[in-house]
Structure 1
Amino acid sequence: MRRLTAASRIAIPLAGALALSACSSSGQDNTDSLQVVNNPVAAKAAVSPAVSVKPAGQVLATPAVSALATDEQSHTLVVALAQPPSVQVYDLGSLGAPKITVPLPGPAESLSTSGGQALASIPTKGVLARISLPGGQVRTEPVAGQPAAGVTDGADTVVAVRDRKAVEVLANGAVTKTITGQLYSADDVIDTGQNVVVLDRLRTAVFSVDVNAGTMGEGLRAGDGAANAVADSYGRVLVTDARAGALLAFSTGPLILRQRYPVPGGAYGIAYDKQRSLAWVTLTGANQVVGFDVRGGEPTEKYRFPTVRQPDSVGVDQRTGRVIVGSAAGEGTQVIQP
């Protein structure tokens, strides 16, 4: 079991850090005392102003980026483009131009990578695309509903299915388990290496998932507008709160809110550098990306850089520490060496 730092073990009592009661499997339950509004809406990235400061580092010419990720094993950068629906695969050692462009059946909403493979979730087509790296061979697997995100968990693939309010477990392309309960919307799934957590943007909450047992566990409110999440090196899940402007840290097993740190400017995208214990958060309202050291009792800002407009996506080259930011406005993919 990965250890938390001593400071991280101290639970911080906060408004909204309350366990969620169960709701009906058919949808939102009007008796839920923690429902913030009658008709919840998922948080979105703050609209960026025009760029007023030259973006740091190098900017690669790309259309609008919907997601990006890096893969350590193949040393590649994978950039998902909204139009035309495709992914560009770059060699991280030579970022001048993509080595290959792979067409997809629809726009990829999210990307995850592991062991020389990228998983692209394509909710509009109801498929999960597996892309081998660096070659770019694609195999698609149908998923009933709208797969919003997927991640490998050992031999399994765990998929958040938004409209069905479910987490599905796939093995060899076949569904082995469907896990439901408490969710309003299943929007992302995070594997800490020890525990699995699902992010619900409508309920602005996180829930633990017992993949082996096939059950949904405890849930906690995640601020006022949970947007994106990533696992860190300490068994925690870090979540951006796009509405309140904050970075939240949850320990898992059991699920406990440990930290809530203010991050004004439209906190949205998040990536984690496990070699340097840095959480990189994009501020879409300010066209910036900020690097926080998360080893202590609260995040400590170490870096802040100007970015391309609408920096919704961010990733990290784990070998070099380079930060990669994608513009959802079509103003390029940015590479920064801190």
Structure 2
Amino acid sequence: LDADTAAVVGRAPLPGVLRHLQLAGPGGPVLVPSESANGLLRVSLPGGQVSSEVMTGPMAHDATGTAAGTVFVANEAGGSVSVVRGDRVVRQLTDVTQPAGLAPVGDRVGLIDVRENTLTVYDAATGDGIRELPAGDGPTHLVADRHGRMIATDTRGGHLIVFDPAGTPAEVGRVDLPGEPYGIAYDPVRDRVWVTATGANLLVGYDMTDPTPREVARIPTVRQPNTVAVDPDTGRLFVTGTADGVVQVVDGPA
């Protein structure tokens, strides 16, 4: 989509059932886990060509890249996380039950386990587990902010939970967010996290100056807003209305 007009400027056919996207770095490639193909696709920008495909494990659900180029892939139905360097799996982590959302912070990577309701922090270089923390009653997704914190949506519990993964990882902030918080995106320029409440058709914005998020905006959305993305250059927001197959474009508050 054109970020200014929302016009479709290209389509890239990809194999398998796909749900999540993350950028490996500025300008790409896009990390695309393929749940039915059980692997990781790297998709180049702006052309949309698949530059590599790596088999990782059953139902590859989410993937995130570290500063060193290592990619962690959550294999949701396989009870494992694949550590990928280049086009090769160098380690399989099996200390998880149903891995889901992933996010990197410096030399650490966070992983949400939606069955165990936990956040596990790993060493990004070795894949060794550092600490497992409770993460509410039903966490799903995770992002990192510019302060080196990790922010999780507790979908069943109705919370937004903030963790500091440095040193001995710990929870450092939490706010109530009824309405099944699910999709999440972070704007590093404005230091703002945006969360969709899928049960309430709302997009809620929080200032992240402090560890406890401070609500700054509530915006009605299209139905079933499963995902949100933000353009940090403009602050513009993109919300997927899954129920109706639409994308809502919102100029974010200043």
Alignment-derived partner of residue 92 in structure 1: 3
Q: Is the 8 A contact 2:238 2:247 kept in 1?
A: yes
Alignment of 1:225-236 (within 5 A): 225-236=138-149
Alignment-derived partner of residue 127 in structure 2: 214
Identity of aligned residues (%): 34
2:42 corresponds to 1:135? no
The equivalent position to 2:189 in structure 1, one of 275, 278, 288, is 275
Deviation, 1:236, is: 0.9
2:227 corresponds to 1:317? no
The CA deviation string for residues 229-271 of structure 1, in whole angstroms up to 9 with x for no partner, is 1111111110111112111000002210011111112211111
Deviation, 1:157, is: 1.5
The equivalent position to 2:26 in structure 1, one of 78, 99, 115, is 115
What secondary structure is seen at the aligned counterpart in 1 of 2:47?
A: coil
Larger mean Cα displacement after TM superposition, 162-171 or 97-106: 162-171
Deviation, 1:297, is: 4.6
2:13 corresponds to 1:103? yes
Task: State the TM-score, normalized to the length of structure 2.
Answer: 0.92
Q: How many residues align?
A: 247
Q: When you count strand as a share of all residues, which structure comes out higher?
A: 2
Q: How many Å separate the matches in 1 of 2:177 and 2:203?
A: 11
Which amino acid is 2:199 matched to? G
Q: Is the 8 A contact 1:308 1:331 kept in 2?
A: no
The equivalent position to 2:169 in structure 1, one of 229, 241, 255, is 255
Alignment of 1:4-153 (within 5 A): 90-95=1-6, 97-113=7-23, 114-116=25-27, 117-139=29-51, 140-153=53-66
Q: How many Å separate the matches in 2 of 1:185 and 1:291?
A: 28
Q: Which runs of 4+ in 1 moved over 4 A?
A: none
Structure with bigger gyration radius: 1
2:177 corresponds to 1:177? no
Alignment-derived partner of residue 247 in structure 2: 333
Deviation, 1:179, is: 2.2
Query: RCO (CA 8 Å, sep 6+): is it higher in 1 or 2?
Result: 1
Query: Structure 1's 266 and 188: CA in aligned 2 closer, same or farther, altered over 3 A?
Result: closer
Gaps of 5+ in 2: none
Which amino acid is 1:123 matched to? E
After superposition, the CA RMSD in angstroms is 1.4
Gaps of 5+ in 1: 1-89
Q: How many Å separate the matches in 2 of 1:268 and 1:214?
A: 27
